[in-house]
Amino acid sequence: FLPHLVASIEEVEETYVMVKPDGVQRGLVGDIISRFEKKGFLLKGLKLFQCPKELAEEHYKELKDKSFYPKLIKYITSGPVVCMAWEGIGVVASARKLIGATNPLQADPGTIRGDLAVQTGRNVVHGSDSPDNGHREIDLWFKQDELCEWVPAQEPWLKE
């Protein structure tokens, strides 16, 4: 085991982050994008999008049997969302930390939900909960030609 090599063998991940309709309606899009951008993750896809019911149902299919599911589908389709694909080492867990706990009242100050929301049913942002779901959700929400492979100018100043 060579601890000094761990960073170099950690895998590059991708995660799907979405500003939900309440975040868009409340004018929080810039603030939310900015947090991921300033952290140093790589933006690979970005669009404003009115989510059809079928897509919302597919995205949240694991929650199909929950009592809040019908309200969740109504919420996610109630207005435009902002879809983002972010890439980076450890981006899935890190994005979840930046987003904060599902219930905004339990989310730490400094997180998006901790700073900007008060109710679970209006928690302004989504982030994939595993690398597999990151791939699955990016495939679901983006067409291949909506994603860019690029190297930002700041790259040498972010990574040694």
By the criterion CB under 6 A, which residues form the site for ligand UDP?
68, 72, 102, 120-121, 123, 126, 129
Q: Which amino acid would we find at residue 80?
A: P
The minimum distance between CB 74 and ligand UDP, in angstroms, equals 10
Q: Which amino acid would we find at residue 49?
A: F
Nearer to ligand UDP among residue 78 and residue 120 (C-beta):
120
Q: What is the distance, to the nearest Å, from the Cα of residue 38 to the centroid of all Cα atoms in its chain? A: 15
Find the helix or strand (DSSP H, E) in which 49 lies.
Answer: strand 42-49
Radius of gyration from C-alpha coordinates of the chain? 16
The minimum distance between CB 34 and ligand UDP, in angstroms, equals 20
Of the residues 4, 59, 126, 135, only one is catalytic, namely: 126
Is 126 an annotated catalytic residue? yes
Is 41 one of the annotated binding-site residues? no
Is 123 one of the annotated binding-site residues? yes
Nearer to ligand UDP among residue 4 and residue 101 (C-beta):
101
Nearer to ligand UDP among residue 35 and residue 126 (C-beta):
126
The minimum distance between CB 99 and ligand UDP, in angstroms, equals 7
Burial of 61 (0-12, 13-18, 19+ CB in 10 A): exposed
Neighbours of 53 (CB within 10 A): 11
Find the helix or strand (DSSP H, E) in which 48 lies.
Answer: strand 42-49
- Binding residues for ATP, by number, are 20, 68, 96, 102, 113, 123
Which positions are catalytic? Answer: 126
Return binding residues.
Answer: 20, 68, 96, 102, 113, 123
